[in-house]
């Protein structure tokens, strides 16, 4: 007998995977921890595989969990869009600015799915560093920007805190001092947070590789040049590592260009972004 995947179970899984903690996920969803654990176990029974490695320090995705994650993200995004589609025919243009860390994640696929559901709408995805994002926002090319809000002139409508996770390729000695780091080139507001966390743990460090792009950072990690701090959604399979200093969360904000209030298309695109982060 075929079984359908309930969106509530997928949301529980997705929230736990992002938070890397069942207790934090339960608090975020307004559930008790036992209730959320029960939902996760039910989903694991449905798919027939364990989805999360559980430990005293939190949870991490299993190989099956890594496989399911992008499907869960896409199903939830499509569900939110499908609820809106019968009520409104959306037209017009919306420019969406995303930091590269998110542009390489499932958000672009969700926006592409949105465009398929609403053929009268035109979407533009702009991935740019902070100063370029500020220019795109000022000229009106971008109406919504999900990034580090310090780069934009208006306060964020809402913010979200996302965890960082350590990534390393095969053969990297995590005990060596100084610890070899793979970093995003300056300017990078997350960089001081990472270095402060390492120094607070009395570890020394050296910069082994820098890149202005996510692709460059991930290539250096795969090559075994050092360790990097990435959003969990950008971890390649098999590169997540433990045993290094705890990393802080980072904050992103959604900034919306003034004068767009009441625009149904921009309202709907903002709802998609919020549902996925």
* C-alpha distances out from residue 5 to 36, 46, 56, 168, 264, Å: 16, 8, 28, 33, 30
Domain of residue 131, CATH code? 3.40.190.10
What is the number of domains present in the chain? 3
Residues 187 and 132 in one domain: no
Residues 146 and 256 in one domain: yes
Structural domain range at position 104: 90-161+252-276
pLDDT < 50 regions, the chain: 1
DSSP category for residue 21: -
CA 13 to mean position of chain CA atoms? 14
Residues 191 and 213 in one domain: yes
pLDDT at residue 117 in the model: 82
**Nearest residue to 62 via CA among 83, 32, 40:** 40
Burial class (CB in 10 A: 0-12, 13-18, 19+), 139: exposed
pLDDT tens digits for range 30-55: 888 888 889 999 999 888 889 998 88
């Amino acid at each position: 007998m075929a079984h359908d995947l309930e969106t509530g179970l997928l949301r529980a899984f997705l929230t736990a995977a992002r938070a890397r903690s069942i207790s934090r996920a339960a608090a975020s969803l307004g559930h008790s921890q036992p209730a959320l654990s029960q939902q996760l176990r039910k989903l694991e029974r449905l798919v027939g595989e364990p989805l999360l490695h559980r430990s005293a320090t939190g949870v991490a995705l299993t190989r099956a969990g890594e496989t399911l994650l992008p499907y869960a993200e896409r199903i939830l995004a499509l569900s939110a869009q499908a609820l809106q589609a019968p009520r409104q025919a959306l037209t017009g243009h919306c420019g969406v600015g995303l930091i590269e860390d998110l542009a390489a994640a499932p958000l672009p696929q969700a926006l592409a799915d949105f465009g398929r559901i609403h053929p009268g709408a035109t979407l533009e995805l702009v991935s740019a560093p902070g100063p370029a994002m500020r220019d795109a926002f000022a000229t009106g090319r971008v109406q919504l920007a999900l990034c580090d809000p310090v780069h934009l002139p208006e306060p964020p409508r809402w913010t979200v805190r996302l965890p960082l996770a350590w990534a390393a390729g095969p053969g990297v000695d995590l005990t060596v001092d100084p610890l070899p780091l793979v970093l995003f080139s300056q300017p990078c507001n997350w960089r001081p947070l990472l270095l402060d966390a390492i120094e607070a743990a009395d570890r020394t460090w050296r910069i082994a590789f820098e890149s202005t792009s996510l692709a460059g950072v991930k290539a250096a990690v795969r090559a075994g040049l050092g360790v990097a701090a990435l959003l969990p959604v950008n971890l390649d399979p098999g590169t997540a590592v433990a045993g290094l200093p705890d990393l802080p969360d980072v904050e992103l904000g959604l900034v919306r260009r003034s004068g767009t209030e009441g625009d149904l298309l921009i309202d709907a695109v903002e709802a998609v972004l919020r549902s996925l982060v």
